[in-house]
Each structure stands twice: as C-alpha cells, then as structure tokens.
C-alpha cells in the first residue's frame, strides 16, 4: 500500500503482568474505509482506540497517518491528542454539561481549524444538520435522549473533519430505531473521501451491516484482518471462528480428494467438503478442523432419508449425520437444536420448521450439510 | 471599632486568597491529575498540616524561619527589611495557614470532573491549558467558590499565628482579631462586643451565602428515588 495513502499502526502496551496489547495493521486511507475491530469485552479494543487517539501511550510503537507521524517511540515522537486529526465518539458520549448542544459541537473548532467564531458556528450547524438534529442546537445535553446524545457526540466528532474517526461501540445501548438511523449515518459519514473510520464493537450484527474491513482481536492480539466476507466466511484460526460465532468446529483428518471434494474422517463420521483455494495445502493424513455455521445445517426425520453413509442417493446434499437431540433452545426468531452425533452439533431452524417437524429432546434426527458450506482450518495437534 | 485593623485584615485576606490561587491551583491540579502517587500522599499530608496543628506551633516555626536564619536573612538581604513583624511575613504565614482550605476544595472539585470530559476536550483539539479553562474550571466553580470563601474568612479570623509572626503593630500587623484581644485586655468590653459581632455576622453571612448557592453538601442524592 502506498505510504501516502495508508494508515499504519504497530503498538505494544503492557496493561498488566500477563496482559499485553500487541497489534500491527495497515489500512488504506483512500478513497475511504471503515474498519471494525471486533472482539469480546476485555480483549484490548478500547486500548487500541485510545492509543490511536493519543490518550494512552504505547510502550513501543509507530502510528502513521498518510505521511504524518503521530507516534514513534524510538524517535521519541508523540503528537498529543489535541494535535491529531481525530473525531472520537465514546460510549458515554462525554458531552460537556455546561455547554449547549451547539457549543458542544463547535467546541475546539476555532483553534483546531483556525476559524472565526461565525465560521465555527456554521460548521457546527452543518454537522448538526448532517446528523439530523439541527433543531436541538440550543438545548442542554442533559435534556436529550440517549439516541440524541449519541448524535450530538457524532456531530461533534465530524464537525472537525477528522482524518480518523474513532467510534467506541457507537450503537451500544440504543433502541432499535436510533440504532438503524445511526448505523446508516455512520456508513454515510465513513464513505467520505480520505477518511478512515475505526469502529470497535462486540456486536456481530452491527459489524456485518457496516464494515468493509474487519479485524478480530482477542487477548490483546490481532488474530485476523481482512475484508468482511473473507474473515467471516474463511476464518484463519479456530480462535477467530469461535469469536465470530461459528457454532460447529469439528476436528478431522483428510482421507483423500475425489473430483474436487475433500473427504475427511471425523468423530461424527465421514465428512465431504468442496475443495477451495484458500484451504492451503490439502494432502491425505493432514489434520484439519471442519468449520460450519449452524444455519447451514438442515434437519430431517431419520426415516426421510435412506442411503448409505457418505452419500445420499437422490439428494444433492453430500453429508448427513444421524444423532439424538440433546436440547432445543427456542430464541427470538429461531430455535437452536443441539444434536449429539458423536460430537454435539448445533443447528438453527425456524419456529415453523420446529413446529411442523414435531421434534423434541431425545428424538433421533438427521442433519444434512452441503459440502460447499464447510470451511477447513489447519490444526497442529 | 478599630477600622484600621479591619481594613488591614481585609487587605491581608484579599492578598492571601490571590496568592493561594497562584499556589493552590497548580498544586490541586497536580494532586488531582498527577501520576506520582507516593509524592502525592506526602504533599497532601504537608498541605493539610495547618488543619490539625495549633496555630502557635506553626507561628513559632515561622518565626524562627523568618528570623535571622534561612529565608529571613535572604529576604532582608534582597529587600532590605525583615520578614518578622511585617505585613509580608504575615502574608506568607497566612498563605501557609489557609493553604489546605484552598487546595482541598479545589482538588476535591477537580477530581469530580469526569475524566471522559477532559479527554473529549483534548480530542476536540484543545490543549491541556485550554481544557483547564474551558472544562475543568467551569465544572469546578463550586470548589473555587468554597476555596475562596473559606480561605478568605479563615485568614480574617486567624489569631495565634498572626500574634506569633506579626506581633501587634497598629496599621502594620494588628489585624481585627488582635484588635479584639487588645480591647478585651484593656477592659473595653463595649468595643470588643462590636468587633466580635461584626466578625461573627460577616463570617456567618459569607458561609450562608456559599452554602445556599451550592445545594447542601450533606444531601444524599438519588437515595430514595
């Protein structure tokens, strides 16, 4: 990536004796991009964001935005937060309680962008208009709803036209309507030229809807960074697969490759997967994990299929596993079915399907899985 | 009523408060936001000493210090006059004596300012200096008011330390509380009564004003909601 048009970060920071944040990444600045850093609570997401903002100082590291060097611990360069071109929205909004909405948004603009009072006011108005709350300009922050406060915080962040927009759980704790509105707004703002938006979240759905790039972080380490589709469909490690919520992770050993399909021996029986480019070197005897989502697993009554294992006559589906239902968990919109087939598999089916199939715990059921729905990850043990 | 003594006391209180701003604000800022915890405990203890020490003890040490050793000698070489039994000496003593009232109120108010707001200000492009004036100061006005009023009235009412360091020189070091003592000594009970009443009413009025502007410090918030 061209230096001029990229954001580079490499930081190390010890938070405690056995917890260290260690991240290196390069991201494009042009035309614009939105990267979501996804990981469980306490994984180091916020520390990463605070280091970018300059609020935390890494023990060692480099942060470069285009040709501007913000941090280089070796050269003893550390640009203070107020000289970095950032817009930072925190979960708590942190609106100044002694300033009206308008003054909250125009706060610091005069100094930062070298504007006159009137110009700063216009800029603030523009930002408020953009987030759709110009009519709240003369209100006190304490009188606003949660969604409105979040929008003021966003307006304050974008009014200064930052190169980097940092969003810490921007949709957390909002009602559905505010979430939807804000989500679209963030996407729109993030698409502006030359801007990098870094968003951190522990909500998978938020990320899938918004981000172009995703970074998966856990225990302070960046496990995988890539385009959204790539990371969610082809996790590189089992840790990533677990964090992005892939329910079924089955250890297996490759037997052979027949007509572009890989066959594996696993605790749930013979599994057949379509060979894909990203699966690395596939040779027989290699140990892998078969990874597939619960929604890719279909269920049918065991008497509905009668065919030898490893192949189903009259069906395009290549895999079937017969097992006993251990548990059925009914959630909003769908039901999770846990089936013991030698290892417990999780399937996701609709309420209607559950109702029509009349299955219950203890029943025998057949799980069907298309060979194309399986992703393979290498394993060393 | 000794008007000259009253005027001197007001003058002393005024300058003490001004000097306490200069000394107290950076000190309170460091106590609230600084990182060196060990040093903070030490400084905090020293600053708070006048709260528990008898004024005469403090006065005695200052008298020694201002005398022919250390600071006193340097001062008289520089300015050609003695610190002991002078207004300047009195001022320094008052600053030390009232320091905890300013510093503790300010530090308390500063540390109540949400650190997220300070960070937000930095991220909005305002330096630490500007952040102090635009965020920390307006949000700790209450602490400033208390610190100011308590330092001022405390200085107005000091006695032991003034007597030790300043003595009783009319127009120079005789403050209102010493004038009151003199009046009682001279069996001028009527004059003493007026002086005492003026001091009492003034102090009460000022405190009443402060506590009525800040909603009562003892009120428990959100307990019964």
Size of the A and B interface in Cβ pairs below 8 Å? 61
Position A305 scores a pLDDT of: 58
Report residues of chain B scoring pLDDT below 70.
214-225
Same domain? For A218 and A283 the reply is no
Which chain B residues are Cβ-neighbours of A107 within 8 angstroms?
Answer: 121, 124, 126, 134
Position A131 scores a pLDDT of: 92
> Residue A379: which pLDDT band, with cuts at 50, 70 and 90?
confident
Distance separating alpha carbons of residues A179 and A183, to the nearest angstrom: 6
Write the CB contacts of A177 (distance below 8 Å, at least 6 apart in sequence). A147
* Structure-model confidence comparison of residues A5 and A70, the more confident one: A70
Q: Is the pLDDT of residue A308 over 70?
A: no
B92 belongs to a structural domain: yes
CA Rg value for chain A: 25
Same domain? For A81 and A112 the reply is yes
Q: End of a domain among A190, A211, A243?
A: A243
Chain centre to alpha carbon of residue B220: 28
Give the end-to-end CA distance of chain B in Å, rounded to a whole number. Answer: 52
B221 belongs to a structural domain: no
**Contact (CB, 8 A) for A33 and A5:** no
**Contact (CB, 8 A) for B84 and B67:** yes
CA triplet A201, A202, A207: central angle to 5 degrees?
A: 60
* Structure-model confidence comparison of residues B207 and A315, the more confident one: B207
Tokens of A310: 């490893």
Which chain A residues are Cβ-neighbours of B121 within 8 angstroms?
Answer: 96, 107-108
Tell me which residues of chain A, numbers 28 to 87, contact chain B at a CB-CB cutoff of 8 Å: 53-55, 80-83, 86-87
The predicted-structure confidence for B62-93, as pLDDT tens digits, reads as follows 888 888 777 888 888 888 888 888 899 999 99
B115 touches chain A (CB under 8 A): no
B130 touches chain A (CB under 8 A): yes
* Structure-model confidence comparison of residues B88 and A315, the more confident one: B88
Give the CATH number for residue A188.
3.40.50.300
Position B212 scores a pLDDT of: 82
* Structure-model confidence comparison of residues B69 and A13, the more confident one: A13
The predicted-structure confidence for A139-188, as pLDDT tens digits, reads as follows 999 999 999 999 999 999 999 999 999 999 999 888 888 899 999 999 99
Same domain? For A317 and A363 the reply is yes
Which chain B residues are Cβ-neighbours of A80 within 8 angstroms?
Answer: 122, 127
Same domain? For A223 and A282 the reply is no
Tell me which residues of chain A, numbers 146 to 185, contact chain B at a CB-CB cutoff of 8 Å: 156, 160
- Structural domain boundaries enclosing A108: 3-243
How many independent structural domains does chain A possess?
2
- Between A92-106, A320-334, B70-84, the lowest mean confidence (pLDDT) is in B70-84
Same domain? For A108 and A197 the reply is yes
CA-to-CA separations, A275 to A11, A238, A272, B22, B217, in angstroms, rounded? 37, 19, 9, 75, 72
B218 belongs to a structural domain: no
Tokens of A249: 């992770």
Tokens of B4: 């000259």
Same domain? For A273 and A211 the reply is no
User: Is A94 close to B125, i.e. CB distance below 8 A?
Assistant: no
B119 touches chain A (CB under 8 A): yes
* Among A50, A94, A156, A166, the residue to mutate for chain B (most B Cβ within 10 A): A94
CA atoms within 13 A on the CB side of B65: 13
- Structural domain boundaries enclosing B136: 3-213
Residue indicated by tokens 């596939």: A282
Same domain? For A69 and A142 the reply is yes
Same domain? For A192 and A67 the reply is yes
User: Is B126 close to A107, i.e. CB distance below 8 A?
Assistant: yes
Ordered alpha helix ranges (H), chain A: 45-53, 101-106, 109-113, 117-130, 146-159, 176-190, 204-210, 228-233, 238-243, 351-357
Position A312 scores a pLDDT of: 55
Same domain? For A210 and A304 the reply is no
Q: End of a domain among A211, A243, A275?
A: A243
B51 belongs to a structural domain: yes
Q: Among partner residues B120, B130, B139, which is closest to A98 by beta-carbon distance?
A: B139
Nearest to B120 by CA among A104, A36, A115: A104
Supply the mean pLDDT for chain A.
Answer: 89
**Contact (CB, 8 A) for B143 and B111:** no
Same domain? For A205 and A139 the reply is yes
DSSP-derived 3-state class of residue A17: coil
Same domain? For A65 and A173 the reply is yes
Same domain? For A185 and A334 the reply is no
ipTM: 0.84
Give the CATH number for residue B49.
1.10.3720.10
Q: How far is A111 from chain B (nearest CA, A)?
A: 7
Position A105 scores a pLDDT of: 96
Count of other CB atoms within 10 angstroms of residue A279: 19
B106 belongs to a structural domain: yes
Nearest to B145 by CA among B21, B13, B7: B21
* Among B123, B131, B135, the residue to mutate for chain A (most A Cβ within 10 A): B123
Q: Is the pLDDT of residue A4 over 70?
A: yes
The predicted-structure confidence for A233-288, as pLDDT tens digits, reads as follows 889 999 999 999 899 999 999 998 888 889 999 999 999 998 887 666 778 888 99
Position A1 scores a pLDDT of: 64
Q: Is the pLDDT of residue A369 over 90?
A: yes
**Contact (CB, 8 A) for B127 and A113:** no
How many independent structural domains does chain B possess?
1
Which chain B residues are Cβ-neighbours of A82 within 8 angstroms?
Answer: 122-128
> Percentage of chain B with pLDDT > 70?
95
B58 belongs to a structural domain: yes
3-state SS string for B46-98: HHHHHHHCCHHHHHHHHHHHHCCCCHHHHHHHHHCCCCCCCHHHHHHHHHHHH
């Amino acid at each position: 990536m061209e230096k001029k048009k990229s954001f580079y970060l490499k930081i190390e920071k010890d938070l405690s004796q056995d917890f260290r944040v260690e991240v290196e990444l390069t991201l494009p600045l042009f035309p614009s991009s939105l990267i979501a850093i996804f990981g469980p609570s306490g994984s180091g997401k916020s520390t990463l964001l605070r280091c970018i903002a300059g609020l935390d100082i890494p023990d060692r590291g480099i942060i470069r935005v285009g040709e501007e060097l913000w941090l280089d611990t070796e050269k003893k360069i550390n640009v203070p937060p107020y000289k970095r071109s950032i817009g930072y929205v925190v979960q708590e909004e942190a609106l100044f309680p002694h300033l009206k909405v308008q003054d909250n948004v125009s706060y610091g603009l005069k100094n930062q962008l070298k504007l006159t009072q009137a110009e700063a006011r216009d800029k603030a108005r523009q930002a408020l208009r953009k987030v759709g709350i110009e009519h709240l300009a003369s209100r006190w922050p304490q009188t606003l709803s949660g969604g409105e406060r979040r929008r003021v915080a966003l307006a304050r962040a974008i009014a200064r036209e930052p190169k980097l927009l940092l969003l810490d759980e921007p949709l957390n704790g909002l009602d559905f309507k505010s979430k939807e509105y804000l989500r679209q707004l963030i996407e729109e703002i993030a698409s502006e030229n030359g801007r990098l938006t870094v968003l951190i979240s522990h909500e998978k759905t938020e990320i899938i809807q918004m981000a172009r790039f995703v970074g998966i972080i856990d225990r302070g380490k960046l496990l995988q960074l890539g385009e959204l589709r790539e990371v969610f469909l082809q996790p590189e490690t089992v840790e990533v697969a677990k964090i992005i919520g892939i329910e079924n992770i089955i250890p297996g050993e490759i037997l052979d490759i027949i007509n572009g399909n890989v066959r594996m021996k696993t605790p749930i029986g013979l599994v057949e997967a379509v060979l894909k480019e990203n699966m690395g070197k596939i040779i027989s005897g290699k140990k892998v994990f078969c990874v597939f989502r619960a929604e890719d697993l279909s269920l049918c009554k065991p008497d509905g299929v009668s065919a030898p294992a490893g192949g189903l006559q009259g069906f395009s589906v290549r895999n079937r596993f017969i097992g006993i239902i251990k548990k059925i968990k009914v959630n909003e919109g769908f039901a999770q079915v846990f089936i013991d087939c030698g290892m417990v598999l999780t399937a996701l089916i609709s309420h209607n399907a559950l109702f029509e199939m009349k299955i219950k715990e203890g029943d025998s059921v057949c799980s069907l899985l298309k060979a194309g729905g399986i992703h393979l990850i290498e394993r060393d043990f | 009523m000794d008007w000259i003594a009253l005027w001197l006391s007001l003058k002393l209180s005024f300058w003490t408060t001004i000097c306490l701003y200069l000394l107290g604000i950076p000190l309170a800022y460091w106590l609230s936001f600084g990182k060196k915890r060990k040093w903070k405990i030490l400084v905090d203890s020293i600053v708070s000493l006048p709260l528990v020490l008898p004024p005469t003890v403090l006065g005695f040490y200052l008298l020694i210090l201002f005398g022919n050793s250390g600071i006193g000698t340097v001062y008289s070489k520089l300015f050609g006059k003695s610190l002991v039994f002078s207004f300047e000496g009195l001022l320094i003593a008052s600053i030390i004596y009232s320091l905890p009232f300013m510093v503790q109120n300010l530090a308390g108010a500063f540390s109540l300012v949400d650190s997220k707001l300070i960070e937000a200000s930095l991220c909005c492009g305002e330096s630490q200096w500007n952040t102090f004036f635009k965020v920390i100061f307006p949000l700790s006005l209450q602490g400033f008011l208390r610190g100011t009023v308590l330092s001022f009235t405390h200085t107005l009412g000091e006695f032991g330390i003034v007597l030790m360091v300043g003595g009783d020189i009319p127009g120079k070091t005789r403050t209102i509380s010493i004038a009151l003592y003199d009046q009682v000594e001279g069996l001028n009970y009527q004059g003493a009564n007026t002086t005492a009443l003026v001091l009492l009413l003034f102090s009460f009025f000022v405190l009443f004003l402060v506590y009525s502007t800040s909603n009562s410090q003892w009120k428990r918030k959100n307990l019964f909601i």
